[in-house]
Structure 1
Amino acid sequence: MDISQPKLTPKILWLMTISSGLVVANNYYNQPLLGLMAKDFNVSESQISGITMFTQIGYACGLFFLIPLGDMFRRKKIILIDFIFIISSLLAMAVSPSVKLLLPISFIIGFTSVIPQLFIPMAATLAAPEDKSKAVGFVMSGLLLGILGSRVISGYIGDILGWREMYFIAAILMGIVYIFIYVNLSEIYPQFKGNYKNLMLSLVKLFKSDPSLRFAALRGGLSFASLSAFWTPLVFHLEENFHLSKGTASNIAGKFGLVGAFGALAAALMGKVIYKFNKNTILIFTALMIIISWIIFYYGGYTYIGLTIGIILIDIGVQSTQITNQSIIFSNHPEAENRVNTIYMTSYFIGGSMGTFISAYAFEMYNWAGVVGVGGLFALIMLVFHLILMKK
């Protein structure tokens, strides 16, 4: 039986946008807190960086195994059940007695905190055809502000109260969001007919049949690898090369997140104007912007102003790439938006975990120059592949 879907009202759009920001923040609270965690457990920088990597791998797995369910089951029900696991994992993080437990708990936090990737295609589904890119850009701007704000908040709270307290506060926030979603979110009914096995097999079919989806996934993964290569070792860079204490470095690393708000503004703007320009041309410019940011990090990365300018450019470049990629894949597959978003975002966060892993070791071996080399190389590879593949 055909069940009409609700319309995307401003109230629902704002609810999805704010909820996306607050939920995705769970994945990024750890970055400014790594120095404090390393001190608390008396472990090395590369060992504690595994927390960020496990969170990103968990997020990628959650995207792959959970998000396709949005095409098969009622989305509000999925979201509310998932919130129970989010809150439980955040509380477990706050009371964990060892690094060995932090790693699997971080994986679970990432695995469950994928709700924004249900909201983004939901916005595209419910919006009028002419407003799809605008709606996606609006929800994405909330998600990005959540990522950036999480670093500011966790850096400040970590410095004042401690890293465990940050996770207790996060659990409380998730309880509040749960209530708002339970009361206000409209139910979205699925379109896919079949079992979970067929649902997952359809991911393979989509990936094989659509080169534009494969190319978008590759660009997204490489762009996020470049961005993650910067943010993960930043707190250690501030400690070692700016001679700051762990608490102060954590606080300042968080405040740099405010600078990245330009990326969120770029996402909202890109959603409004993207249809006016050739997408291949946009992607060339965004890749060049990311490369230029790494050149600035190389020459100016030992000054606050150099880091600030570089952060503005890399965030605008990466988030504009993201919006352009998602605009391409959603317009090609309106009947399978959750599944194509799964493919894209899984690649995106696999790239992020690669950037985190490699840059952590690059910093340990070659200091800031190693980080710049890793991040710049990911951006350069993205540009080269795009120039080659856009002709096909």
Structure 2
Amino acid sequence: MSARSMLEPGAGIPTRLLAVLATVAGVAVANLYYNQPLLEMLREQFASTTLAANRIALYAQVGYALGLLFVIPLADLMSRRRIVVVNLALLAAALAGTAVAQRIEAVQGLSFLIGVCSVMPHLFIPLAAQYSTPELKTRNVGIVLSGLLVGILASRVVSGAVGELWGWRAMYWIAAGLMVAASGVVVALLPDARPNFSGSYGELMRSLLTLVRRYPVLRRYSVRAACAFGSFMCFWASLAFRMAGEPFCVGSDVVGLLGLCGVAGALTASVVGRWIERVGVQRFNRAGCAMHLAAWVLFGVWGDSYVALVAGIVVIDIGMQCIQLSNQALLFDLEPSASNRINTIFMSIFFTGGALGTFLSGVAWSAAGWGGVVATGGVLTLVALALAAKKE
């Protein structure tokens, strides 16, 4: 398939292209999570408070949510390949700028830009859904999501190790180089897809509101997934601070290795995709929320133990995939021609929940330490569970 060929809805996606989508999704979304194992290192470098360091992760999440809302809809109007290449160029510049930043405020601002421009995976997910054959739709969406999740896991491990060996600035230089390489792959291999919307950008954005009003299920699935993701991010936003203190007293490399424990969640994505219609969205949501609650019990009661931390990370990651994919995958059937906009709505709300969880985590840590973080994460999970308990 040449880079200039066009995809046709329902015709199927070549395996090579699925691999490209999953790989680029992984290296793009990784930029959002490199900071997590490095937050304590950044706090020390700039002699700042934990709340100021927390804002690095917070602004990245806020930027990501806004990028989903305002950048992703452009894929219904213009070439996906062009959007991806422009975003990769901006990412390379923002990551390089972070590597040379001399003030924490600069890192915070550039983290916002990194978040805005790291949204490419959410161009690929609806593309995989719209252009797959019906029987392979959920499997292919799961493959792209698995690539995204592996990118998240690898980002924490790599940034933790690089930060410990060569410092946090080296990680951002490496990330900038990866974005340059990814842009070459996209230009060579990513085909164009036909626009799904005829009209202006303003009309396109107004159509998002129409979709939100038209489909109550879209609102319900998005909000409950967002609450669960807020709980998930509440844990990761404060983990570096927790591990720097007693009884662990370890650096970014160990925080990154703990992120590797979430590989169970990445492996779960493709399995969940195959079983959603058989098991049901509600059951997956309730099971995922139950796993989150179990993880927070482990973090709260036995949080001084590596065994409990590892077990909790495995459980909370699997639970997160059950919740996200079961809520997200079936929404594409609401209106196939608007799959990109539906995904935009879902993921914008989803990452708004993540930003809220990140913010609350920083506030809770500053006010009450790890116990406050555990309580906050548990409350967010209970809200998600209450929404999942309602009958469809």
In the superposition, the TM-score normalised over structure 2's length comes to: 0.96
The CA distance in 2 between the partners of 1:62 and 1:115, in whole Å, is 9
Deviations 1:358-389 (A, max 9, x none): 1112112211111110001100110112213x
Gaps of 5+ in 1: none
Structure 2 matches for 1:235-250, cutoff 5 A?
235-244=240-249, 248-250=250-252
| Alignment partner, residue 64 of structure 2 | 59
The equivalent residue for 1:374 is: 376
Mapping for residues 29-44 of structure 1, pairs under 5 Å: 29-44=34-49
CA contact (8 A) 2:7 2:192 kept: no
Supply the distance in 2 between the matched residues of 1:199 and 1:241 (Cα, whole angstroms). 52
Residues 331 and 170 of structure 1: is their aligned pair in 2 closer, same or farther, counting only changes over 3 Å? Answer: same
1:107 aligned residue: 112
Residue aligning to 1:195: 200
Contact 2:196–2:337 under 8 Å retained in 1:
yes
Distance 1:167 1:9 in 2: 33
1:327 aligns with 2:332: no
Residue type at the aligned position of 1:318? M
Superposed CA offset, 1:95-131 (max 9, x none): 1110111111100000001000101111111110111
1:352 is aligned to 354
Superimposed CA distance per residue, residues 27-67 of structure 1 (whole angstroms, 9 cap, x where no aligned partner): 00001001111111001111111000000000000000000
What is the CA distance between 1:241 and its match in structure 2?
2.7
In structure 2, distance between residues paired with 1:197 and 1:47: 36
How far apart are residue 333 of structure 1 and its match? 2.0
SS at match of 2:245: helix
Structure 2 equivalent of residue 96 of structure 1: 101
Give the structure 2 partner of residue 119 of structure 1: 124
For 2:329, give the aligned amino acid: S
With 318-327 and 305-314 compared, the bigger mean Cα shift is at 318-327
Query: Do 2:33 and 2:152's aligned partners in 1 also have CA atoms closer than 8 Å?
Result: yes
Alignment partner, residue 286 of structure 1: 288
1:134-188 CA distances to partner (integer Å, 9 max, x unpaired)? 0111100110111111000000000000001100000111111111111111111
1:225 equivalenced with 2:230 (yes/no): yes
Output the CA distance in 2 between the equivalents of 1:278 and 1:351: 23
Partners of 2:7 and 2:373 in 1: CA distance = 50
> 191-200 or 281-290: which moved more?
281-290
Of 289, 303, 306, which residue of structure 2 is paired with 1:304?
306
- Which residue of 2 is the match for residue 11 of structure 1? 16
* 8 Å contact kept, 1:75–1:189: no
Give a deviation string over 1:309-355, Cα, whole Å, max 9, x none. Answer: 10011000011111111112112121111111111111111111111
- Cα distance, 1:195–1:266 mapped onto 2, change above 3 Å: same
User: Residues of 1 paired with 2:371 and 2:41: CA distance?
Assistant: 24
Q: 1:192 aligns to what SS in structure 2?
A: coil
Which residue of the other structure, out of 153, 156, 165, is the alignment partner of 2:161?
156
Change (3 A) 1:361 1:312: same
Partner of 1:343: 345
User: How far, CA to CA, are the matches of 1:385 and 1:275 in structure 2?
Assistant: 20
Structure 2 CA distance for aligned equivalents of residues 61 and 280 of structure 1: 28
Inter-partner Cα distance in structure 1 for 2:95 and 2:309: 31
Which residue is 2:278 aligned to? 276
Amino acid across the alignment from 1:332: L
User: Does the 8 Å CA contact 2:153/2:259 hold for their aligned counterparts?
Assistant: yes
| TM-score relative to the length of structure 1 | 0.96
Q: Secondary structure at the match of 1:96?
A: coil
Deviation at 1:7, TM superposition (A): 3.7
- Supply the distance in 1 between the matched residues of 2:36 and 2:200 (Cα, whole angstroms): 38
One-letter identity of the residue aligned with 2:228 = S
User: Aligned pairs, how many?
Assistant: 385
* Structure 1 residue 243 displacement after superposition: 4.2
Which whole-Å CA distance do the structure 2 matches of 1:4 and 1:43 have between them?
Answer: 50
Q: Give the superposition deviation at 1:4.
A: 5.8
Give the counterpart letter for 2:359 in structure 1: F
1:249 Cα deviation after fit: 2.4
Give the alignment partner of residue 190 of structure 2, picking from 178, 185, 189: 185
Within the candidate set 292, 313, 318, 2:315 is matched to: 313
* Alpha-carbon distance in structure 2 between the residues aligned to 1:257 and 1:278: 29
Q: Percent identity?
A: 37
What is the alpha-carbon root mean square deviation over aligned residues? 1.1
Q: Determine the C-alpha separation between the residues in 2 that align with 1:379 and 1:262.
A: 20
Aligned mates of 2:131, 2:42 — CA distance in 1: 42
Kindly report structure 1 stretches of 4+ aligned residues shifted beyond 4 Å.
Answer: none
1:176 aligns with 2:176: no
